[in-house]
Amino acid sequence: MPKSDLTELAGRLERDLGDPHDPSSRMPYTRVLEHDEQEDHPTEFVHLLQRWGALDYSLPRAQGGKAGDVEIGFNLMRLIARRDPTTATAFVITSLSFMPAWVAGTDAQKRALVDSIRRGNRFAWGLSEIRHGSDLPADEMTAEKTDGGYLLTGEKWLVGNSSVTGGLSIYARTDPRGGPGGYSVFVLDRQQTPAGAVNELPRERMHGLRGLDMSGFRLDRVFVPDSARLGREGQGLEIALKTAQTAHTLVSGIALSAVDTGLRGILDFTEGRTVLGRKVRETPYSRRQLTECFADLMVADAVSLGAVRALQVVPEHTGVWSSVVKYFVPTLLERTYAQLNVVLGASFYLRGHPQYAIHQKMLRDLSVATFADGNTAVNLRNIALQLDGLLATATTADQDLLDEADARAAVLFGIDRQLPLYRPWDQELNSRGRDDALLAAPTALVRLRRLAAEARPDERDRLTRAADTAAQLLAGAASLRERVTSLKASLGRDYGQSAEFFDLAKEYCLLHAAAACVHTYVHSAAALEEPLPSGALLLLQMERVRRHLRPHEAVTDAGVVNDVMRVLRRLHLENRLFSYWQFPLAERGDLRAAGL
């Protein structure tokens, strides 16, 4: 979808949902907080979004949906999540429960499921089990072959939307021996299942997403026909892992939205609060905290931009892109939110005020992005297992490979570039040593220096310093490769279980993030609207990435902070999303009338 069309679609959703601060809007914070306090499923909001047609943009156009690009559904979910991550999670669960069919289903299966979802049916993804968590090759639910189909027996636990759905996608063992080829995926239509055949497990109470139905179900020899199996018998693990790649990428949008809302609320607070005769936003310490948090958010936004588009541009490499975004974005933004709390001060503890209560809710809800559909350790391990190949390619690639990566990076990070058709069946589990963000980074740095040379003097300085910092960070790929080789040699078989193994993967994610920020600047600059792009913001982004590796390095000067603050305040005052997408948000009413 062209950028202008997506901007219009996002604007229409924002206008229809209205200002969340306005209690009379269709999805106001007051009602969101009531659901949260009472731990009620947000059924009214889910139905509202179904009537609006939001799920259509996560279903394939070829089978009756409206999805062409994954980033459409991703960005609509962000706009929902900035109001309520619980509703956004309930929304995305149905989309992700359809993904096994999108990966491996027949045209007829996809059409039937799309039609069911468009008629208001919701789906859940029965994957994890209480004894095995993310260890999918150990799952115990069985699918016993019988005449004309299978008999499903076993339990699934921590299943989102489990008891409020009409359909279930279920991962079950078809080979008694289990193993990588021992599982398959089935669709169970509860309306076609005898009453009492699906036994609900108790709902779990949660720290965040308090209103989400998170429970599970038990089956005892429940029949499903052969036509309910998705893909080949034994293809289940592959389907589940490809579905997880998409889930990892999309879930980062919830963390982005939570921080957007938190930062936006604190900017409102600092505009109205005076301390020692000065507005809070004018004190140097608070300005730095706010701009650093904004820079973190924009680092995460750049990483997410590339990862979401990678699902379509390089599906064969999503084995690394999806794990990087799933580990890095929520982990970074949890730290960012803690920094925001410092600016808010004692007001952070006031539950009765809607502005501060929604801040607390966003903080609790953000955490779901760290563990949903694969936790931090799972994703770091996936990256670490690929480090040898990724670093070898990044440090020894020939010019032809670098040129290919550069051409792909222009589409991955060019926000106005058209995407190829989404082909989830082409996703692969191992990236085969390819990460175009790192491979194309040297060429992007050359472009950045060229842009710096052409810029006005103050911007030239910012961009030159940003390029120098990025070059220093990215040069760390060679050192990282040496340390991986040395650690493997010293630890032998213990390498894969060592703490250092995971630390090396974390460092790789920082290199990827630095590259993503540079690529986003050089490939999207022409498509962005004032006050973006900003050399000061790019410099502060590079500083924030560097401080994870070298926390005692000198920080940027007050002039850079002030320039970034001008960017942040303009986006805020013009009521645009804190993102490279810069979507216009619902018009805000009188904050004083809303009690802010």
544 pLDDT above the threshold of 60: yes
Question: Do the domain assignments include residue 585?
Answer: no
Give pLDDT tens digits for 439-473: 999 999 999 999 999 999 989 999 999 999 999 99
Question: Do the domain assignments include residue 593?
Answer: no
Range of the domain at 488: 240-573
Query: If DSSP codes are grouped into helix, strand and coil, which group holds residue 146?
Result: strand
Assign residue 180 the CATH number of its domain.
2.40.110.10
Question: Do the domain assignments include residue 64?
Answer: yes
Question: Do the domain assignments include residue 517?
Answer: yes
Least confident range of 98-112, 213-227, 350-364, 568-582: 350-364
Domain match, 47 and 138 both:
no
Domain match, 414 and 519 both:
yes
Domain match, 187 and 326 both:
no
Least confident range of 258-262, 469-473, 493-497, 515-519: 493-497
DSSP 302-364: HHHHHHHHHHHH-GGGHHHHHHHHHHHHHHHHHHHHHHHHHHHGGGGG--SSHHHHHHHHHHH
Tell which of 187, 209, 230 closes a domain: 230
Query: What is the pLDDT at residue 270?
Result: 87
Tell which of 76, 98, 118 closes a domain: 118
Give pLDDT tens digits for 496-516: 888 999 999 999 999 999 999
Confidence of residue 577 (pLDDT cuts 50, 70, 90): very high
Question: Do the domain assignments include residue 595?
Answer: no
591 pLDDT above the threshold of 70: no
Give pLDDT tens digits for 365-379: 998 888 776 678 889
User: What average pLDDT score do residues 190-198 get?
Assistant: 88
Confidence of residue 593 (pLDDT cuts 50, 70, 90): very low
218 pLDDT above the threshold of 70: yes
Question: Do the domain assignments include residue 551?
Answer: yes
Query: What is the pLDDT at residue 596?
Result: 41
Assign residue 287 the CATH number of its domain.
1.20.140.10
Maximal CA-CA distance, the chain: 80
Query: Which helix H or strand E contains 173, and what residues bound it?
Result: strand 167-173
Domain match, 383 and 256 both:
yes
Question: Do the domain assignments include residue 579?
Answer: no
Instruction: Round to whole Å and give the CA distance between 151 and 225.
Output: 9
Query: What is the pLDDT at residue 595?
Result: 40
433 pLDDT above the threshold of 60: yes
358 pLDDT above the threshold of 60: yes
Domain match, 223 and 250 both:
no
Domain match, 131 and 112 both:
no
Assign residue 58 the CATH number of its domain.
1.10.540.10
Give pLDDT tens digits for 228-244: 999 999 999 999 999 99
Domain match, 113 and 129 both:
no
Domain match, 71 and 147 both:
no
Domain match, 297 and 384 both:
yes
Query: What is the pLDDT at residue 349?
Result: 82
Query: What is the pLDDT at residue 276?
Result: 65
Confidence of residue 245 (pLDDT cuts 50, 70, 90): very high
User: What average pLDDT score do residues 541-553 get?
Assistant: 93
Question: Do the domain assignments include residue 56?
Answer: yes
Give pLDDT tens digits for 19-56: 999 999 999 999 999 999 999 999 999 999 999 999 99
Please list, in sequence order, all residues whose beta carbon lies within 8 angstroms of the beta carbon of residue 215, skipping any fewer than 6 positions away.
157, 158, 159, 162, 163, 200, 201, 202, 203, 204
Instruction: Round to whole Å and give the CA distance between 485 and 483.
Output: 5
569 pLDDT above the threshold of 90: yes
Least confident range of 86-95, 148-157, 277-286: 277-286
Give pLDDT tens digits for 317-329: 999 999 999 999 9
Tell which of 170, 205, 230 closes a domain: 230
Domain match, 560 and 539 both:
yes
Domain match, 148 and 110 both:
no
Exposure string for 169-200, b = 16+ CB within 10 A, e = fewer: bbbbbbeeebeebbbbbbbbbbeeeeeebbee
Structural domains of the chain, count: 3
What's the mean per-residue pLDDT of the chain? 93
Query: What is the pLDDT at residue 590?
Result: 60
Domain match, 110 and 165 both:
no
pTM recorded for the entire structure: 0.95
